[in-house]
Amino acid sequence: MTFADRSLGQRCRQAGVGLADDEVELAPVDPTWMTIAGTVAQYLRDELPGARVAHVGSTAVPGCVAKPLLDLSVGLATDQVLHTDAVSRLGLVFRSVNPESVLFAIYRDDGPRVVNVHVRRRGDRFERWDLLWRDFLRAHAMTRDDYVQFKRRAMAETEGRVSYSRSKGEFIGRLHPRVEEWAATNGWAPAEG
């Protein structure tokens, strides 16, 4: 890690945050993970003023289970560019480009990946969905609990990260209309910052 906070790698190790690229495991979300995600998010905000940086995914939902791998969404402003010097200073390692985002990762000094950083345009449908899904699960404990049970079954019944992720995607896809209805009914909008 190249963050100014050199203790971050140690904090990740102590909190059990980190997976090898080919590993898949689930653990109960630890409140420490949210604190660590907040620290990393602040580094990103400091480096990318104007970007919306948010902790997303299951590790951002109290009471959930998740892979011990933090997900951060970085929504760049329309005219904002992620420069290579910022990528280098932040210790971001390029992983892939897909329709949803440009994916970077942050690794601990001893090897495991600790953070996925999804870089997108602020307000695009993928950034919006990640924020909406997180907020929906936070607001609906019964759905969160159903998701936890589903994830545990999927982990037992699938092999590898790809099939596990595909299975989760199908579950989430079935809930998509309900989530959108909740957003419309409640006037949901992504939080700033």
Residue type, 108: R
Q: What pLDDT does 54 receive? A: 96
Q: Is residue 2 part of a domain?
A: no
pLDDT digits (tens, 9 = 90+) for 112-138: 999 999 999 999 999 999 999 999 999
Q: What pLDDT does 124 receive? A: 94
Q: Is residue 1 part of a domain?
A: no
Q: What pLDDT does 77 receive? A: 92
Q: Is residue 63 part of a domain?
A: yes
Find all residues with CB under 8 Å of 103, minimum gap 6, and list them: 94, 95, 96, 97, 116, 117, 118, 119
Q: Is residue 117 part of a domain?
A: yes
Q: Is residue 124 part of a domain?
A: yes
Q: Is residue 152 part of a domain?
A: yes
Q: Is residue 108 part of a domain?
A: yes
Contact 7, 39 (CB under 8 A): no
- Domain extent for 165: 8-186
Q: Give the count of alpha carbons within 13 A of 132, CB side only.
A: 22
User: What single DSSP character describes residue 60?
Assistant: G
User: What single DSSP character describes residue 20?
Assistant: -
Q: What is the mean pLDDT of the chain?
A: 90
Q: Please report, for the domain that includes residue 93, its CATH number.
A: 3.30.460.10
pLDDT digits (tens, 9 = 90+) for 8-42: 888 899 999 999 887 888 999 999 999 999 999 99
Higher pLDDT, 23 or 63: 63
Q: What pLDDT does 6 receive? A: 62
Q: By C-alpha distance, which of 141, 127, 137 is closest to 192?
A: 127
Calculate what percentage of the chain has a pLDDT beyond 90.
65
pTM: 0.91
Q: What pLDDT does 4 receive? A: 45
Q: How far apart are CA 178 and CA 36, in angstroms?
A: 31
Contact 34, 4 (CB under 8 A): no
Q: Is residue 191 part of a domain?
A: no
Question: Which residues are bridge partners to 76 per DSSP?
Answer: 121
Q: What pLDDT does 68 receive? A: 95
Q: What pLDDT does 83 receive? A: 84
Q: How far apart are CA 117 and CA 94, in angstroms?
A: 9
Number of domains in the chain: 1
User: What is residue 123's three-state secondary structure?
Assistant: coil
pLDDT band at 1 (very low <50, low <70, confident <90, very high): very low
Task: Give the torsion sign (CA, 121, 118, 27, 148).
Answer: positive
Residue 2 has pLDDT above 70, yes or no: no
